[in-house]
C-alpha cells in the first residue's frame, strides 16, 4: 500500500461503515455484501479469501486468518513445499465481537453472533450465539433476541428508543440516554 493511500485511510476514512464502503469500492474482499461494518482495528490477513454477506459486523481487534503460517516453519524444518490456506465465509447478519479470531477454512452461518474473544476453529451453524475458545454454542438467536427484548423493555429509557427510527445512534437522543443510564446504573447524576 503506497504512502498516500495509507495517509488517506488514516485521516479521511473513519472506522466502521465508511471503512466497509471503502473496502467494497475497491473490491478488496472476495465478496462483500451491503451495509458492512468493518473496524480499521480488525486484521484480515488474506482479503482475497474472505467472503462476507450483508449486514456483517467485524469489530475492533478481530483477526480473520486465511492461512496458517506455521507451515512455513515446517517447510524449513523438512525442506518441503506445503501450503495451509483456506477461505473464510461469513453469512448475512453476523456480528463478530471484539478480538474474535477466525481460522482458515471456516464458515459462519447467517444470523450469528460470535462473542468477544472467541476463537472460531470450525464451521458455525447459523441462527445462533457462540462464545469461548474454541467457540461453542451458547443459545439460539431467537432465545437471545427474546432475552435482550425483555431486558430492554425494563430500562426506563426504552420509551425514548421506541420513538426513533435510528438503529445505531440518534444525536438528538444521546444526551437524554446518557443521563438516564447513569442515573439508573449508578443511582447518581452524571459527573461529566
Same domain? For 75 and 126 the reply is yes
% of the chain with per-residue pLDDT over 90: 72
Whether the bond between 134 and the residue before it is cis, its omega within 30 degrees of 0, is yes
pLDDT for residue 116 is more than 80: yes
- Its pTM stands at 0.87
Residue 43's CATH number: 2.160.10.10
Same domain? For 122 and 173 the reply is no
Query: What 3-state class would DSSP assign to 113?
Result: strand
Same domain? For 84 and 170 the reply is no
Same domain? For 62 and 132 the reply is yes
Number of folded domains in the chain?
2
Find the mean pLDDT for residues 80-88: 95
| pLDDT tier for residue 56 given thresholds of 50, 70 and 90 | very high
Residue-number span of the structural domain to which 190 is assigned: 155-192
CB 136 within 8 A of CB 130: yes
Q: How far apart are CA 22 and CA 7, in angstroms?
A: 14
pLDDT for residue 33 is more than 60: yes
Q: How far apart are CA 41 and CA 19, in angstroms?
A: 11
Residue count (the chain): 192
Pairing of strands 63-64, 57-58: unpaired
Q: What are phi and psi of 179, to 5 degrees?
A: -60, -50
Whether 130 maps to a domain, the answer reads: yes
User: What average pLDDT does the chain have?
Assistant: 91
Retrieve residue 173's grid coordinates: 437522543
Q: What are phi and psi of 72, to 5 degrees?
A: -65, -45
Q: What is the pLDDT of residue 191?
A: 62
| pLDDT tier for residue 164 given thresholds of 50, 70 and 90 | confident
pLDDT for residue 158 is more than 80: yes
Same domain? For 115 and 179 the reply is no
| pLDDT tier for residue 105 given thresholds of 50, 70 and 90 | very high
Amino acid at each position: 500500500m503506497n504512502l498516500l493511500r495509507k495517509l488517506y485511510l488514516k485521516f479521511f476514512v473513519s472506522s466502521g461503515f465508511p471503512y466497509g464502503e471503502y473496502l467494497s469500492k475497491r473490491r478488496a474482499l472476495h465478496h462483500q455484501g451491503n451495509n458492512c461494518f468493518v473496524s480499521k482495528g480488525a486484521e484480515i490477513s488474506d482479503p482475497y479469501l474472505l467472503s462476507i454477506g450483508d449486514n456483517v459486523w467485524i469489530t475492533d481487534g478481530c483477526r480473520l486468518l486465511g492461512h496458517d503460517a506455521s507451515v512455513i516453519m515446517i517447510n524449513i524444518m523438512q525442506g518441503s513445499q506445503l501450503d495451509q490456506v483456506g477461505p473464510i465465509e461469513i453469512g448475512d447478519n453476523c456480528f463478530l465481537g471484539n478480538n474474535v479470531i477466525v481460522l482458515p477454512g471456516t464458515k459462519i452461518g447467517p444470523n450469528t453472533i460470535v462473542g468477544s474473544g472467541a476463537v472460531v476453529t470450525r464451521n458455525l451453524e447459523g441462527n445462533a450465539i457462540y462464545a469461548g475458545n474454541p467457540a461453542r454454542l451458547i443459545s439460539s438467536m431467537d432465545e437471545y433476541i427474546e432475552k435482550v427484548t425483555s431486558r430492554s423493555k425494563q430500562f426506563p429509557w426504552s420509551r425514548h428508543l421506541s420513538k426513533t427510527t435510528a438503529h445505531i445512534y440518534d444525536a438528538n437522543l444521546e444526551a437524554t440516554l446518557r443521563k438516564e443510564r447513569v442515573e439508573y446504573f449508578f443511582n447518581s447524576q452524571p459527573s461529566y
